[in-house]
Amino acid sequence: MDNQAQLAKLGLFDARVPRYTSYPTAPHFSDAVQDNVFGQWVREIPENSQISLYLHIPFCRNLCWFCACRTQGTQTDSPVRGYLSHLKEEIALLAQNLPKGVTLSRMHWGGGTPTLMAADMIEELAEAVAEVVPMAKGGEFSVEIDPNQIDESRLDALVRHGMNRASVGVQDFHPDIQKTIGRIQSFEITRDVIGMIRDRGINSVNADILFGLPHQSKERIAETVQKLLSLSPDRVALYGYDHVPWMAKRQQLIPTDALPTPVQRLKLYETARRLFLWDGYREIGIDHFAKPGDGLDIAERTGRLRRNFQGYTDDTAEALIGLGASAISKFPKGYAQNLSSTADYIQRVTDGRFATGRGHVFEGEDTMRARMIEALMCDFRIDRAEITRDFEPKPGLLDRMFTEVSAAFPDMIEVTPAGLEIRKEGRPLTRIIARAFDDYDMSKAGHSPAM
């Protein structure tokens, strides 16, 4: 049996599995975590430590058909200004609870489209955060930039307030594909915006592209990757398009018969992957590429690569606080997610309370399994000594788990005294293998295709 047939037999082309940006995954959150728990976890952050902050801006000028993000379209600034005032109230609440001397190791603005905020809104938000929790020395401030929604004044405002990493959405450069997914963005606009970013001294540029789009062929994805390489991004995320029109209604506008098959998706991924590797990029985890010397590359080489709700990171802060509607926070004791509906979020913050709506308190083997899954997603291996040292598993438990998983994935896994490792040929199965360490009910909805 060749490798593709073996991957097919092990479920690569049929399974729907979590992306494991958290463990347990968000469908397992419950209303057990509310604003009082969130406030307590904030107050438990050690004085003078570093945290990460995520700010969610759930607005876009136009809603792209392929996108399943929680966001709403608006042609005017007034709902965004209203939301911003509530986000500032939430930041003020955080200030009342945050211990002394805490600084930011990372701040990320995402959405939605954070860059639809006018320059004065950007200033207002950045100043509100800086008053409460200043950036640590060497900290990173990144912003998701929509090339269709940015101009010199907004970019200047971001740079003035310390933005030092820009994340640019690309998807695919082919006009036919752009038309079919409802997102028109020419190569020239993307090139010019990246030029404007670099002209302002920002030398860290990320780009996101998608494989598995309608009408995408090997030739077309190769052309997109080559065009992207001509812009020399420092990091690239190569995500699989997830067609879930029953959940993301806008996707009903995308013709299902134009979508590639799972086998074609693997070929699209491999085509793009090879081009990045030929160009000297290093492969990071399951779907990222980075230039040698980039922070993710260094983290990967030194075993410090981590995974959070934004994907791969070299951030080592123990607490990630998410503010804004639907934003998720992670603390040493568990996860907390804000109310998803913008109206509910606004109501709660207006009442002077944190907007937590659900979450999860770690219990039992949660943190050990979370680390094992994260280690597979980041390094394709689990270090027996690290798990034993940090989690003191019951005698024989690791051996039992490793034996079962290696029997379930013959020829794809190696178990040694040092731990468990996914072989190169088994790496497309990483999320399926990670699932074998997941102790929660898999029938919960919300997973994406393994390939």
Which residues sit at the interface with ligand SF4, rule CB under 6 A? 60, 63-64, 67, 69, 71, 111-113, 146, 169, 183
Question: Dihedral, CA atoms, 417, 422, 424, 429, nearest 10 degrees?
Answer: 170
Minimum Å gap between C-beta 319 and ligand SF4 is 26
Nearest residue (CB) to ligand SF4, 148 versus 337? 148
Nearest residue (CB) to ligand SF4, 35 versus 146? 146
Minimum Å gap between C-beta 58 and ligand SF4 is 9
Minimum Å gap between C-beta 115 and ligand SF4 is 10
Nearest residue (CB) to ligand SF4, 105 versus 113? 113
Nearest residue (CB) to ligand SF4, 58 versus 449? 58
Nearest residue (CB) to ligand SF4, 154 versus 348? 154
C-beta neighbour count of 8 within 10 angstroms: 17
Q: Which amino acid is at 435?
A: R
Minimum Å gap between C-beta 440 and ligand SF4 is 28
In DSSP terms, 206 is beta-bridged to 167, 235
Distance (Å, rounded) from C-alpha 430 to C-alpha 424? 10
Minimum Å gap between C-beta 256 and ligand SF4 is 20
Nearest residue (CB) to ligand SF4, 4 versus 62? 62
Distance (Å, rounded) from C-alpha 50 to C-alpha 305? 18
Nearest residue (CB) to ligand SF4, 146 versus 314? 146
Minimum Å gap between C-beta 159 and ligand SF4 is 21
Nearest residue (CB) to ligand SF4, 183 versus 243? 183
- Only one residue has tokens 């010397």, namely 293
Cβ atoms 282, 33 nearer than 8 A = no
Distance (Å, rounded) from C-alpha 177 to C-alpha 266? 18
Minimum Å gap between C-beta 111 and ligand SF4 is 6
Minimum Å gap between C-beta 164 and ligand SF4 is 22
Minimum Å gap between C-beta 146 and ligand SF4 is 5
- Before 46, cis peptide (omega within 30)? no
Nearest residue (CB) to ligand SF4, 113 versus 338? 113
